[in-house]
Structure 1
């Protein structure tokens, strides 16, 4: 028998009407699965963007010893700038350091008789996770002592740790909802097969192939997954816009960007995953329970 999309769609929607409660339950579970997955993607995207933004601001400050010559300072600057981890390096002379100190703490600076501040080099990195490695290389270079290097390693490590915990927790929740969605859609399709077993037997007797008999149920699962995932994708996009707007109004000092999440690709991924869940659940049910 030839492929007839219109027939398969009509049969799928008829099955869904006959088993409305199970169909709604399957679509709702898919919605929850895709919603958790979408929230996980939002959290991962925003946290990664925050870490990237903070990383651009994180600087390793290395102070030159008092007896460092201009030639040694120049060589150190050239060597540091050539490292692949380094995005930018800035030399701060003793005079510039004193000027900064006077601007930030004028009351204390006015009591200084001479300039006690050393020259330094401020290093910005492409990835803040490389802070420890760069600090070690600064010491190995011989230009700086360990105690003359300053960087917020603890803050960076905590950010990376928190991100890992959040990501794995959301992945676990998504996996549980995904399994539940597949099983519920499978049960919904199984009920449809049982309710239409006589009709299926007749189709087989008149020469219908296994694929022809299976296709309406596969389409039914696909539609259930599509409905649940499409609604969830819209909710995820709305949550993203709501969160960005709220963050910009209430915590403007925090680097929350609207461009951290690509809403079009996020929606496409979520809907695709939902459809795959629906097809997988229906195919599993048909393969195991379609006995004609």
Structure 2
């Protein structure tokens, strides 16, 4: 493609955007609103996955050691288990530390506190944290096969539900984003088709004087790319300001709720919306123009 052609295509793109102000505003608004809706569900999906990950990381397994086991054997098992596949972190606690923890958690249970004070019936043990909660049942069986282990306790039902929730949320997020992406594409195709329809005579004349299909397409494709980019940029600004406010509000109202980091959410949102805006804008222009090139 020659420099004259590039200059013509660029000039035509700018002219179309400027002289068709209302169509430009309508297209940009459509892209911005569509990308904002997509971003909303993306932010929701990222936060749900983040919440699931945080809750999964807090799920622990407790391994209790038999009484009268030498501390050296307890530490030997600790060091060995720390190298097992799936173990993210393992912490040792004594029965005295377990008793102090119970006192803090149940300060009003006088009978329990009296029993602990007279004769501590608790055990030394380990708090075991895994890389994936789904690995807890297999690790529990492995610990139970150790001779020095008295018992293994973990919330199996919680583990299974959290793992299932994580998988479901990922699939739901993808399905929702796919459906909204198709709806966005359909809306933008029809919006740009209106803009092309307003210039259908111009396209027909260019075809009759010998212009190639691609020479006619490029100004419209670039126009679609610009519209997609600008619309996505507007949506990103709105989402960035809105999520910044939401994080600040949640920190004050719900300090215990683990919101996904701002950088993580906006990094994924910007990549998704800018890429999606360019793809949808360019593709919509090509699809909308196809019928008018048949002269």
What band does the TM-score fall into relative to the shorter chain?
0.7 to 0.9
Contact residue 94 and residue 123 of structure 2 kept, 8 A: yes
> Which residue does 1:128 correspond to in 2?
133
Match of 1:7 among 11, 15, 23: 11
Q: In the TM superposition, what whole-angstrom CA distance separates every residue of 1:113-165 from its partner, at most 9, and x where no partner exists? A: 322111111112333343333223323445546xx222233334333434444
- Displacement after TM superposition at 1:185 (Å): 2.7
Q: How many residues align?
A: 287
Q: Does 1:219 align with 2:222?
A: yes
**Cα displacement (A) at 1:42:** 1.8
Aligned-residue offset at 1:59: 2.1
The equivalent position to 2:114 in structure 1, one of 100, 110, 113, is 110
Shift of 1:101: 3.5
Query: Contact between 1:30 and 1:177, CA under 8 Å: does it hold in 2?
Result: no
Indicate the residue corresponding to 1:251 in structure 2: 254
Change (3 A) 1:149 1:15: farther
Q: Quick check: 2:41–2:176 contact (8 Å CA) kept in 1? A: no
Gap change, CA 1:251 and 1:42, over 3 Å in 2: same
Mapped to 2, the partners of 1:200 and 1:105 lie a distance apart of 79
Q: CA deviation at 1:282?
A: 0.9
* Match in the other structure for 2:84: 83
The 3 A distance-change label for structure 1 pair 207 and 138 is same
Corresponding residue number in structure 2 for 1:279: 282
96-105 or 71-80: which moved more?
96-105
- Relative to structure 1, is the Cα distance of residues 196 and 138 closer, same or farther in structure 2, using a 3 angstrom cutoff? same
- Describe the shift of the 1:199–1:104 C-alpha distance in structure 2 as closer, same or farther (beyond 3 A): closer
Structure-1 separation of matches of 2:245 and 2:167: 24
TM-score relative to the length of structure 1? 0.82
How far apart, CA to CA, are the structure 2 residues paired with 1:177 and 1:98? 54
Conserved? CA contact 1:63–1:118, under 8 Å: yes
Q: 5+ unaligned residues in a row in structure 1: which ranges?
A: none
Residue 95 in structure 1 maps to residue 70 in structure 2: no
CA contact (8 A) 2:62 2:127 kept: yes
> Using the alignment, how far apart are the partners of 2:34 and 2:172 within structure 1?
14
Contact 1:36 1:174 in 2 (8 A): no
Structure 2 alignment gaps of length 5 or more:
none
- Corresponding residue of 1:31: 32
1:248 match: secondary structure? helix
In structure 2, what is the Cα distance between the partners aligned to 1:173 and 1:37?
Answer: 9
SS in structure 1 at match of 2:6: coil
Q: How does 1:204-215 map to 2 (within 5 A)?
A: 204-215=207-218
- TM-score, normalisation: structure 2: 0.81
Q: Deviations over 1:11-58 (max 9, x none)?
A: 4315744xx36x555444433432233223322332333333334433
Displacement of 1:246: 1.6
